[in-house]
Amino acid sequence: MEITLRDAVTVVHGMFFGALLLLAFTGAAMGLYAVSTPVGRWNITPAQQRRLSLYVALMALLAWVTVLLGAYAVYPWYRAHPPAGLTDLSGFPQRLLMSSPATAQWHDIGMEWKEHIAWFAPISLTAAAYLVARYGAHLHSLPSVRRALVGLVALAFLSAGVAGFFGAMLNKYAPVRGGTRIVLMHGDSHDK
Amino acid sequence: MTSELSEAAPANGAAAAAVLAVAIGSLVLGVCALAGDASPAIAHVLNVWNPTGPLSGVTVLAIIVWLVVWFVLARVWSGRNLDLRRINLLALALVIVGLLLTFPPFMDLLQGK
């Protein structure tokens, strides 16, 4: 069982960091709702407030790591130009997608949107983390700050969701692949 | 009730600065993405790191603008109470425009493609 280095980095970018970020939104949504709802709220202690702030700050950090790894490690492999005359485009995902009308829109809409919208997530989550740290215990009494915070987290979720969806689809039609082969496991097939 | 909860709520100026900075950064990202798509000359200028191409310049510029605007607004508005509802609405409008400008079919529409 093998995987290439580019596959591995892409998996870390999307299936580890990206998916973990998307999963983390449920915890953030529940925590922020519990502390900020005007009626029946969770009376948060200073220690719990610090942990909630840390949670959202770690989400922002995760979003930054995800987009930076995507833009500066995976994307250059994706958009690499093949040598003239090469017919096997499997190592050049962008060119492979653009070579067929059936797949060109995955690049023209999917990647072109993903590469930009993804950046809304770390930017808005950084601001959200700041608001939670500064206003966390007072969110229930500051409705406009609460709405701003919900908006920032929703924007981050939308952008991370769009980027994640297109990332998964792009990798189905034109996987980023190549580089050093990493052997994960040796062995024969059981189906003989 | 904790001692922290019994304190007066802090002024909302810092929140306004953070929210509006995100919105302006988002708008700059959208405008730069459109400009890079529409003009090869601008795309060349935005190509600050060749392996990533114009995306590198688009995002670096948006992040710089976002952080500078946040810093400046935080200095001006910190400790003040503002009409955050209006600032939220303005921020929402700017973010929607920024999002639309990154959406390729909308980019193409603006360029008459």
DSSP-derived secondary structure for A82-148: PPTT----TT-HHHHHHTSTTTHHIIIIIIHHHHHHTTHHHHHHHHHHHHHHHHGGGGGG-HHHHHH
Interchain pair B63, A123: CB under 8 A:
yes
Residue A105 touches chain B, beta carbons under 8 Å: no
- CB–CB contact B52 A137 (8 Å): no
Residue B65's φ and ψ, nearest 5 degrees, are -60, -45
**With an 8 Å Cβ cutoff, are B59 and A127 in contact?**
no
- Per-residue pLDDT tens digits for A70-90: 999 999 999 999 998 898 998
- pLDDT beyond 80 at A19: yes
What residues in B contact A131, CB-CB < 8 Å? 15, 18
Asked whether residue B3 is domain-assigned, the answer is no
pLDDT over 60 (residue B40): yes
Q: Is residue A173 part of a domain?
A: yes
Count of domains observed in chain A = 1
Residues near A156 by beta carbon (within 8 Å), at least 6 away in sequence: A25, A59, A63, A120, A121, A122, A124, A125, A128
Average pLDDT over residues B77-106: 97
CB contact under 8 A, B91 and A148: yes
Question: Residue A189 falls within a domain, yes or no?
Answer: no
**Other Cβ atoms closer than 10 A to A18:** 27
User: What are the chain A neighbours of B71 within 8 Å (beta carbons)?
Assistant: none
Residue A43 is predicted with a pLDDT of 83
B-chain residues near A117 (CB < 8 A): 99, 102-103
- CA nearest to A144, candidates A131, A155, A157, A133: A131
Please tell me which residue of chain B has the smallest CA distance to A49. Answer: B4
At A4 the pLDDT is 95
Number of domains in chain B: 1
In a domain, B26, yes or no: yes
User: Within a 10 A sphere around the Cβ of B99, how many other Cβ atoms?
Assistant: 22
Mean pLDDT over A30-51 rounds to 88
How far is A130 from A61, CA to CA, in rounded Å? 12
Average pLDDT over residues B8-27: 96
B112 to chain A, closest Cα gap in Å: 16
Q: Is the pLDDT of residue A153 over 90?
A: yes
- The mean pLDDT of A123-130, rounded to a whole number, is 98
Predicted confidence (pLDDT) at residue A40 exceeds the cutoff of 90: no
Identity at B1, one-letter amino acid code = M
User: Contact, A176 vs A14, CB < 8 A?
Assistant: no
A191, part of any domain: no
Please check whether residue A148 is in contact with residue B91, taking contact to mean a CB–CB distance below 8 angstroms.
yes
Asked whether residue B53 is assigned to any structural domain, the reply reads yes
- Percent of chain A whose predicted confidence (pLDDT) is above 90: 83
Q: Which residues span the domain enclosing B98?
A: 13-111
Q: Provide the pLDDT for residue A170.
A: 97
In a domain, A190, yes or no: no
Phi and psi dihedrals of A181, rounded to 5? Answer: -85, 130
The shortest C-alpha distance from B76 to chain A (Å) reads 17
Q: How many helices (H) and strands (E) does chain A have?
A: 9, 2
CB contact under 8 A, A148 and B19: yes
Q: What is the average pLDDT score of chain A? A: 94
Residues of A with Cβ-Cβ distance to B2 under 8 angstroms: 43-46, 137
Residue A98 has pLDDT above 80, yes or no: yes
Residues of chain A with C-beta less than 8 angstroms from the C-beta of B55: 71, 75, 115-116
- Which burial class, exposed, middle or buried, applies to A153 when counting CB atoms under 10 A from its CB (0-12, 13-18, 19+)? buried
Q: Is B99 on the interface with A (CB under 8 A)?
A: yes
How high is the pLDDT of residue A191? 75
Query: Tens digits of per-residue pLDDT, A164-185?
Result: 999 999 999 999 999 999 999 8
Q: Is A20 inside any structural domain? A: yes
Whichever domain contains A22, its CATH number is: 1.20.120
Q: What backbone torsions phi and psi does residue B44 show, to the nearest 5 degrees?
A: -65, -45
Domain range enclosing A75: 2-183
Looking at CA atoms only, how far is residue A149 from chain B in angstroms? 8
CB-CB under 8 Å, A43 with B1 = yes
B9: chain A residues, CB-CB within 8 Å: 135, 138, 141-142
3-state secondary structure A67-82: HHHHHHHHHHHHCCCC
In a domain, B5, yes or no: no
B100 within 8 A of B30, measured Cβ to Cβ: yes
- Average pLDDT of the residues in A121-136: 97
Cβ-Cβ contacts under 8 Å for A45 (sequence gap 6 or more) = B2
Phi then psi dihedrals of residue B53, to 5 deg: 75, -155
Q: Is residue B2 part of a domain?
A: no
Nearest residue of A to residue B7 by CA position? Answer: A138
- The pLDDT-based confidence of B7 (bands split at 50, 70, 90) is low
Full-prediction pTM beyond 0.90? yes
Confidence band, pLDDT 50/70/90 cuts, at residue B5? very low
pLDDT (0 to 100) of residue A192? 67
Contact present, A152 and B19 (Cβ < 8 Å): yes
